[in-house]
């Protein structure tokens, strides 16, 4: 259990020293804080935010709620919560109560937070034994991911990043709320992250560096690749996913964005770089696409991480193997959020689709944002942004941002196999099985409908987290293994490569539906 409110909301203790990463800290999405102390606290890096700042941040948000009719819509874009002004009024009231009850003592101690934390826990979580984590791991996690390795505490009572309880929503208000309501916007409230004051300049490809890379695997070894999204939470299931990547030594790994809450230097360190440190050191080539939660802090921590640890230096790239071209494109920095509108990026993407098809490679697209989502027939503008450039040459499309895991069939308006893998770290709600779901824009082939601690009644409200392991077999066929955080395969898929590089579904075994 956390010792303070700050630690409960972040997972790490409040810093005793200002953390400015050599002066590269967040400068503030709304511009200068000026004379307003609430905005000064709200726009600072989270490691500089202290519990003493929390009241000013909440007051700033309350003022915004009362003066900005678009406050609910702005919060929806950041948190996914489609709620009324009355809902946010009540959340701010509850948040203020929690902050008041958790105030540090005059002697600098943690105050009454432990008591507050107990009061906020649902009745079903109060009786969880202290041994739950070790017992569940020993019975349910694949042996090679636990035997002889340091234990990872699952912390089932942790509500960080959740969007359906008071403590989780308080975290979003304090650590993402100010950024959500002040990020620059265009028509129809579209967020424009490149206009954030102090944001890092967008990096473009050039003749000297076309952002195209080669992935070679040892002779006779099929390339193995891990794909994951919405991973950056530092929660126990994320740490187990990182361990799988380390133990199984993938040749490459692709992260499709989002280090929560806002991708600050401290959050990148705690939730992303530290968990993946061994993966980077074991030789896995990691490629990272930023998304909106990396962008709220101005992409500074993202680029710092790229420059220090990774091979690629921009937010879009292509990685070629003998049979497959992986194309990663951010949909957040250069255009309106969720779009590919920048002409330079569009021309590059069009060339990459054509180059892949001309070489008879399978084109696998990866984006932070989604073309459509589970249980919705709405197709996003991003779908047409891509189809206008692909000329029929996008074969498989992975995305994150929306929080679930599914594989979709080709459709008339979506002529590619699509897959959402936004279940890496975010504590999303359990999804209904496909036969109980509302219609989607494309036929659902597989959906992860299990709960996080399957086989146990604990946290049955949370969905199963995981990632996708991809293998390119010698003849060019592609195998997908949707794998949960425990190391169990949830769905196995094989796509047969055609002569021109496109693929057809050859086999699918849904272990969730068959369970």
Q: What is the pLDDT of residue 353?
A: 98
Q: What is the mean pLDDT of residues 333-344?
A: 97
Could you give the angle at the alpha carbon of 71 between the alpha carbons of 65 and 74, nearest 5°? 150
Q: What is the pLDDT of residue 404?
A: 98
User: Domain boundary residue among 165, 182, 199?
Assistant: 182
Q: Are residues 253 and 370 in the same domain?
A: yes
Residue 107: which pLDDT band, with cuts at 50, 70 and 90?
low
CA-to-CA distance for 86 and 493, rounded, in angstroms?
Answer: 46
HEC per residue, 268-331: HHHHHHHHHHHHHHCCCEEEECCCHHHHCCCCHHHHHHHHHHCCCCCCEEEEECCCEEEEEECC
Beta bridge partners of 287: 254
Q: Are residues 373 and 478 in the same domain?
A: yes
Within a domain: residue 192? no
Q: Is the pLDDT of residue 27 over 60?
A: no
Q: What is the mean pLDDT of residues 331-352?
A: 97
In angstroms, what CA-CA distances link 456 with 121, 132, 450, 465? 18, 10, 11, 15
Q: What is the mean pLDDT of residues 380-397?
A: 98
CA-to-CA distance for 301 and 333, rounded, in angstroms?
Answer: 14
Reported as a single tens digit per residue, the pLDDT across 236-270 is: 999 999 999 999 999 999 999 999 999 999 999 99
CA torsion sign, 480 to 404 to 275 to 292? positive
Q: Is the pLDDT of residue 514 over 60?
A: yes
Residue 189: which pLDDT band, with cuts at 50, 70 and 90?
very high
Q: Are residues 216 and 175 in the same domain?
A: no
User: Domain boundary residue among 144, 167, 182?
Assistant: 182
Within a domain: residue 141? no
Q: Are residues 229 and 91 in the same domain?
A: no
Reported as a single tens digit per residue, the pLDDT across 53-106 is: 999 999 999 999 999 999 999 999 999 999 999 999 999 999 999 999 887 655
Helices (H) and strands (E) in the chain, counts: 17, 15
Reported as a single tens digit per residue, the pLDDT across 277-296 is: 999 999 999 999 999 999 99
For residue 49, the enclosing domain spans: 5-121+157-182
Q: What is the mean pLDDT of residues 8-32?
A: 52
CATH number at residue 240: 3.60.21.10
316-320 and 324-329 beta bridge pairing: antiparallel
Q: Are residues 471 and 395 in the same domain?
A: yes
432 three-state secondary structure? coil
Within a domain: residue 351? yes
Q: Is the pLDDT of residue 366 over 70?
A: yes
Answer whether 0.85 is exceeded by the pTM: yes
Residue 126: which pLDDT band, with cuts at 50, 70 and 90?
confident
Q: 43: how many CB neighbours lie within 10 A of its CB?
A: 25
Within a domain: residue 263? yes
Q: Are residues 278 and 171 in the same domain?
A: no
Within a domain: residue 366? yes
Within a domain: residue 134? no
Q: Are residues 279 and 395 in the same domain?
A: yes
Q: Are residues 459 and 362 in the same domain?
A: yes
Q: What is the pLDDT of residue 123?
A: 75
Averaged pLDDT score across all residues of the chain: 91
- Cβ-based burial of 437 (10 A; exposed 0-12, middle 13-18, buried ≥19): middle
The count of structural domains within the chain is 2
Q: What is the pLDDT of residue 47?
A: 45
Reported as a single tens digit per residue, the pLDDT across 321-337 is: 999 999 999 999 999 99
Within a domain: residue 362? yes
CA-to-CA distance for 168 and 80, rounded, in angstroms?
Answer: 13
Q: Are residues 170 and 83 in the same domain?
A: yes
Within a domain: residue 201? no
Reported as a single tens digit per residue, the pLDDT across 446-484 is: 999 999 999 999 999 999 999 999 999 999 999 999 999
Q: What is the pLDDT of residue 28?
A: 34
CA-to-CA distance for 437 and 432, rounded, in angstroms?
Answer: 6
Q: Is the pLDDT of residue 115 over 90?
A: no
Q: Are residues 172 and 235 in the same domain?
A: no
122 three-state secondary structure? coil
Q: Are residues 254 and 170 in the same domain?
A: no
- Cβ-based burial of 349 (10 A; exposed 0-12, middle 13-18, buried ≥19): buried
Q: Is the pLDDT of residue 148 over 80?
A: yes
Q: Are residues 378 and 475 in the same domain?
A: yes
Tokens of 494: 């094989």
In angstroms, what CA-CA distances link 452 with 158, 248, 443? 13, 22, 25
CA-to-CA distance for 306 and 288, rounded, in angstroms?
Answer: 8
Q: Is the pLDDT of residue 167 over 70?
A: yes
The answer to whether residues 349 and 366 touch, using CB atoms and an 8 Å cutoff, is: no
Return the residue matching tokens 């060019």. 476
């Amino acid at each position: 259990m956390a010792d303070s409110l700050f630690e409960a909301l972040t997972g790490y203790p409040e810093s005793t020293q200002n953390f400015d990463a050599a002066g590269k800290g967040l400068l503030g999405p709304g511009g200068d804080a000026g004379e307003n102390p609430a905005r000064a606290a709200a726009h600072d890096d989270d490691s500089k935010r202290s519990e003493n700042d929390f009241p000013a941040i909440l007051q700033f948000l309350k003022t915004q709620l009362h003066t900005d009719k678009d406050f609910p819509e702005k919060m929806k874009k950041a948190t996914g919560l489609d709620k009324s002004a009355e809902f946010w009024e009540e959340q701010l009231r509850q948040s203020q109560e929690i902050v008041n009850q958790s105030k540090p003592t005059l002697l600098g101690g943690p105050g009454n937070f432990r008591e507050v934390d107990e009061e906020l826990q649902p009745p079903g979580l109060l009786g969880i034994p202290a041994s739950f984590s070790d017992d569940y791991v020993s019975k349910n996690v694949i042996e090679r991911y636990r035997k002889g390795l340091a234990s990872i505490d699952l912390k089932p009572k942790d509500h960080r990043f959740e969007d359906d309880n008071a403590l989780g929503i308080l975290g979003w208000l304090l650590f993402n709320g100010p950024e959500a309501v002040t990020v620059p916007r265009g028509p129809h409230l579209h967020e424009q992250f490149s206009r954030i004051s102090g944001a890092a300049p967008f990096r473009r490809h050039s003749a000297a560096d076309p952002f195209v890379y080669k992935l070679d695997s040892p002779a006779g070894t099929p390339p193995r690749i891990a794909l994951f999204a919405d991973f950056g939470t530092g929660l126990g299931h994320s740490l187990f996913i990182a361990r799988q990547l380390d133990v199984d030594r993938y040749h490459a790994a692709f992260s499709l964005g989002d280090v929560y809450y806002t991708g600050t230097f401290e959050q990148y360190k705690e939730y992303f770089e530290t968990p993946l440190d061994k993966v980077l050191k074991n030789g896995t080539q990691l490629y990272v696409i930023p998304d909106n939660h990396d962008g709220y802090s101005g992409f500074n921590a993202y680029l710092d991480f790229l420059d220090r640890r990774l091979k690629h230096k921009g937010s879009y790239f292509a990685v070629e193997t003998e049979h497959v071209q992986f194309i990663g494109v951010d949909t957040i920095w250069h255009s309106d959020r969720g779009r590919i509108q920048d002409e330079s990026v569009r021309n590059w993407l069009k060339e990459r689709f054509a180059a892949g098809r001309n070489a008879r490679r399978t084109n696998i697209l990866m984006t932070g944002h989604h073309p459509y989502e589970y249980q919705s027939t709405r197709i996003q503008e991003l779908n047409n942004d891509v189809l206008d450039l692909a000329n029929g040459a996008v074969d498989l499309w992975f995305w994150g941002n929306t929080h679930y895991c599914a594989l979709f069939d080709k459709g008339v308006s979506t002529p590619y196999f699509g897959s959402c893998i936004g279940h890496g770290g975010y504590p999303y709600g359990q999804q209904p099985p496909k036969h109980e779901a509302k219609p989607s824009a494309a036929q659902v082939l597989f959906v992860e409908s299990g709960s996080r601690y399957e086989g146990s009644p604990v946290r049955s409200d949370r969905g199963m987290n995981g990632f996708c392991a991809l293998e390119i077999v010698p003849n060019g066929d592609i195998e997908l293994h949707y794998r949960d955080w425990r190391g169990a395969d949830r769905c196995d898929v094989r796509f047969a490569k055609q002569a021109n590089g496109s693929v057809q579904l050859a086999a699918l075994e849904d272990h969730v539906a068959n369970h």
